[in-house]
Structure 1
């Protein structure tokens, strides 16, 4: 039997806490606001669980709700989380899982798929993973990000982007009304000094000698590397190349949007040397696989480490991505080709919208001439260059 009565509840006016027993309290604030709370304790931790306003919740209903809360705690359930589930509003953790499930098929990059939930699990869920997605706000997100903002700025930015994606999904589903206050949140975060990342690159003058070494012994990895150099493509674009993307008669390689970093289709004009490299790769073609450069496991592309290991084994002070820089330096310092042609050949995103519109054409023929000239440079013997 509780210590309070309906009459006593109605008569209580003074600010304070009035106990009914079994952890149920009538709470009266300084402003006169009256509400019910249930005080529970588990594993040495004490919590007050709100049960509603006295205006809407009678003493009898408050006792029922308090009993339910105590029962949930006894079996290891969090009453707040259980209440949200009953209301149909998912926690941030649950919402993130749904967003991931809905979008993962559209993410062609396996590394991106793996990291998407992992980064949220590591950096966001400990802070507000079990909070209703409707309640997550700027301060919650800001406090989670500030812990890694300076030490891991790139990771922090990606975590922020993924959190915003979950919140936007919640708005679209009707679970919340407002987005995160991104502008205010960003201003509150500490300034990060930009650290330019430079991939180790081989001087373009040393490229012919490197290509010659690659050709001394043939393997699928060395062929892939030669194709990477001759096309100035990214490692992932080469390793994922498909025979269906190639038209060796027209000397074109069309990389679909889903495999490009910028998400736009990219057409690569192939030099005669590049065409020969791709034709030599036919010797490694696997049945029932469209991959040009298959890896060790059937149906799987080459590992990124395969190309990196070639550089290490040959004691080349460069990484595969650095050969794009070698190509760009050669264009700027050794040719009269316009920089716009080189940027288009590298499939770089044009930040200036006006310039991007002006250069909407693919400059295909100009790029073909450029790639032919680059192939000629890559085949130039060092002694021939000295003699010239």
Structure 2
């Protein structure tokens, strides 16, 4: 490679632009210019790095664009061109790059959201289910992607295998993914939430609910007596009687808190919580 490639006389318009073969052959310490501020720097240690000289908001800066062992000449040129375009538009490509690195992965975002919401859940079971379902169905598919990069296709890839086989689980996973992506929108890392529309692209399924046969009114007292005479624990016996007398759902009865019950007014107020949806 000639001396004209190493000179710093005119980095924007060198006598001869680099070629892929010239890049591979560049081993001697120096700077090998390609044009538009892009050059290959070879240190005395043998370290090789793409570098771009660029003026950003009136100040000369240098931007590292990666090793030529990983970043081709064509890619380095395209990245340099993009940086110059951003600088021309008044933006700072270095700042934008640093901000992009600050965006968490979907898994990191999900764990942050989980920690934020955990104090609002009524028991540890619901908090554990939120993160465990994402660990099982979402993280293996796109957990390592930046939360800003997750697409509808990624959600489809995760939900399609369980959409009809595990309907309720799939619905909850989609909802929980949506909560994470809404948080990312609020942080300014996204402009959309793929979870809102992905269900429209998946096959429509009817809820497969198999209801247990209900007891006739005349049989209820006998049922309660049978349970009271059984070997079940006292809390189980009282919970069943409470369930029957309040005509509530089993989950609502199991998770009931004394703070929800006004004994003087004989009123039980069941709060509407997100985790029940």
Of residues 148, 163, 166, the one that matches 2:162 is 148
* Equivalent-residue separation in structure 2 for 1:160 and 1:260 (angstroms): 14
SS at match of 1:161: helix
1:312-369 per-residue CA deviation (whole Å, 9 max, x = no partner) reads xxxxxxxxxxxxxxxxxxxxxxxxxxxxxxxxxxxxxxxxxxxxxxxxxxxxxxxxxx
The answer to whether residue 171 in structure 2 is matched with residue 157 in structure 1 is yes
Of residues 92, 105, 112, the one that matches 2:119 is 105
* Equivalent-residue separation in structure 2 for 1:261 and 1:90 (angstroms): 24
Label 1:206 to 1:18 Cα distance change in 2 as closer, same or farther (>3 A). Answer: farther
Q: Displacement, 1:133?
A: 1.2
Q: Displacement, 1:173?
A: 0.8
Contact 2:133 2:173 in 1 (8 A): yes
* Equivalent-residue separation in structure 2 for 1:245 and 1:96 (angstroms): 30
Of residues 212, 233, 254, the one that matches 2:225 is 212
Q: Displacement, 1:116?
A: 0.9
The answer to whether residue 256 in structure 2 is matched with residue 230 in structure 1 is no
Count of residues paired in the alignment: 219
* Equivalent-residue separation in structure 1 for 2:111 and 2:238 (angstroms): 40
Contact 2:243 2:253 in 1 (8 A): yes
Q: Which residue of 1 aligns with 2:80?
A: 54
Q: Which residue of 2 aligns with 1:349?
A: none
Label 1:191 to 1:254 Cα distance change in 2 as closer, same or farther (>3 A). Answer: closer
Q: Which residue of 1 aligns with 2:134?
A: 120
Q: Alignment RMSD, CA only?
A: 4.1
SS at match of 1:178: coil
* Equivalent-residue separation in structure 1 for 2:249 and 2:189 (angstroms): 41
Unaligned runs of 5+ in 1: 26-35, 42-46, 59-82, 264-388
SS at match of 1:20: helix
SS at match of 1:53: helix
Q: Displacement, 1:253?
A: 3.0
SS at match of 2:23: strand
Q: Displacement, 1:204?
A: 3.8
Q: With structure 2 as the length reference, what TM-score do the two structures score?
A: 0.62
1:133-163 per-residue CA deviation (whole Å, 9 max, x = no partner) reads 1111111212221122122122112111111
Q: Give runs of ≥4 in structure 1 deviating > 6 Å.
A: 4-10, 22-25, 83-86, 259-263
